[in-house]
Structure 1
Amino acid sequence: MVNNPDGSVTRLVTLPSTAPSPDHTTHIPVLSKDITVNPDKNLWVRVFLPREARDSTPPAAGAAKKLPLIVYFHGGGFVICSAATTIFHDLCALMAAEIGAVVVSVEYRLAPEHRLPAAYEDGVETLKWIKSSGEAWVSEYADVSRCYLMGSSAGGNLAYFAGLHVADSVADLEPLKIRGMILHHPFFGGIHRSGSEVRLENDGVLPLCSTDLMWELALPEGVDRDHEYSNPMAKNASEHCSKIRRVGCKFLVAGCEGDLLHDRQVEFVEMLKGNGVEVEAVFERGDCHALFGHVKKFMA
């Protein structure tokens, strides 16, 4: 990654990407298509629909027969990756198939060209779009009253703050209702090094120098890593949790002991519990990512 004089960066590594598969004549188990939300921001979503739902004739009628809705935010430290990045495309397709859900994966603006809270604002705009767009795969097949915000790494951070941003105006989103937040290895930081950050400083997947750089590029200029966007445990914790309780949604936080971010995630869970928020925590040993069984149970 190379810093440019205008404040942008040149991303030297291009990760594999996958095109959507909207053609219902194929035999793949999950269909997907891209839809523009706001062309001025290049904000778009990739919608995933289980093929068996699309092939039902007529489409399932009534909210009780519709599928739950997952609004998903990809990872990448707010700086890299896309909703089209293969690992996130495959994850969303697998969730749609295994859980039986409509998944809306959000292509939000990246830092440093668009520093936080730009990504949070894109998350909020997407929720408003879901409410009012009339997009057929959402309106016909998704029960928007069973909506879950989910994200991996930076996407987990984004899901949390997008939820906070709409907490005072949830009535404006109806009939969309946020039932829960699913944070998969959420990306949080802070000024003081945690135990897992020291222990895994030179981790081959996510070294400490990488998280430092991502926060430097993503946070608003002039703030430190104890800003609430990075460290929700340091500031405004009780206020945030009060908003979450008013929304009435529950949390699933999933991580693993081999993750440099592990201790931050544990602290985040304890913050939620200490402020009366319903939360289930699943921390696996080592570095495995055993998630789907927990998600399906959580959404039941």
Structure 2
Amino acid sequence: MDSTKNEPTQDPNPFLRYYKNGKLQRPIGTPFVPPSNDPETGVISKDIIISHEPKIAARLYRPTTTTKLPLLIYIHGGAFSIESAFSTLYHTHLNTLTAAACVIAVSIEYRLAPEHLIPSCYEDCWEAIKWVEQASDPWIKNQADLNRVFLAGDSAGGNIAHNIAVRAGLTIPAQPGPGLKIAGMALVHPYF
């Protein structure tokens, strides 16, 4: 047995660790948590599939209300290669943000590098924007005001949100289609 197969070949810590046997490890990141009914914020969340091929998902968040609310599309950070919309870090953040801002939120789970090279993350998020525009999910259809849509993201997510806004502006000024109007953005430490 060759014990060198389990040795790292490249070690660009803290983000990725490659092994000679082809394994890729992400030493940094937080564990995944399921959607929930958060007792601290009163926010309810659920997971949805946007596309099976490529695999694109999102976690939706909503406060307990029956009125139409602005829609926040949030894109997580992590240097394009770590973290998740389903991680403890982002789940907690989106529960708090959804409650404080009183919005419906969509947190996009895009494919990570290096397994999926850039521009996959941009394409995944664009597909998610088009999915939101179709408003097929009851939370979006019944409770989101698609004339008040905000893009937000931190780090790599800020970069992706910026690029999505530029693409939306080039496609049809400030709107990817007739049913969705981007009213603003919040970029937190965008990774440019």
CA spacing shift, 1:163–1:37, aligned 2, 3 Å? same
CA spacing shift, 1:4–1:168, aligned 2, 3 Å? farther
Q: How many residues align?
A: 175
CA spacing shift, 1:27–1:155, aligned 2, 3 Å? closer
SS at match of 1:138: helix
Between structures 1 and 2, the one with greater helix share = 1
Q: Does 1:20 align with 2:20?
A: no
The 5-angstrom pairing of residues 205-224 of structure 1 reads none
Partners of 1:44 and 1:76 in 2: CA distance: 17
Between structures 1 and 2, the one with greater strand share = 2
Contact 1:7 1:112 in 2 (8 A): no
Q: Does 1:144 align with 2:150?
A: no
Question: Which residue of structure 1 lines up, in the alignment, with residue 71 of structure 2?
Answer: 69
Q: TM-score with structure 1 length normalisation?
A: 0.54
Report the more deviating stretch, 160-169 or 82-91. Answer: 160-169
The 5-angstrom pairing of residues 242-281 of structure 1 reads none
Q: TM-score with structure 2 length normalisation?
A: 0.83
Amino acid of the structure 2 residue aligned with 1:174? P
Partners of 2:135 and 2:119 in 1: CA distance: 24
Partners of 1:164 and 1:4 in 2: CA distance: 38
Partners of 1:142 and 1:8 in 2: CA distance: 42
Contact 1:83 1:89 in 2 (8 A): yes
Alignment match of 1:35 (pick from 14, 24, 48): 48
Amino acid of the structure 2 residue aligned with 1:47? L
Question: Which residue of structure 2 lines up, in the alignment, with residue 220 of structure 1?
Answer: none
Contact 1:73 1:151 in 2 (8 A): yes
Contact 1:148 1:178 in 2 (8 A): yes
Structure 2 gaps, min length 5? 1-15
User: What RMSD, in angstroms, separates the aligned Cα atoms of the two structures?
Assistant: 2.2
The 5-angstrom pairing of residues 1-300 of structure 1 reads 1-3=16-18, 9-13=24-28, 15-21=30-36, 29-51=42-64, 53=65, 56=66, 60=67, 66-170=68-172, 172-188=176-192
Amino acid of the structure 1 residue aligned with 2:113? A
Report which structure shows greater RCO (CA 8 Å, sep ≥6). Answer: 2
Contact 1:34 1:45 in 2 (8 A): yes
Sequence identity percentage: 38
Amino acid of the structure 1 residue aligned with 2:33? T
SS at match of 2:62: strand
Rg comparison, structure with higher value: 1
Structure 1 gaps, min length 5? 61-65, 189-300
Partners of 2:151 and 2:81 in 1: CA distance: 20
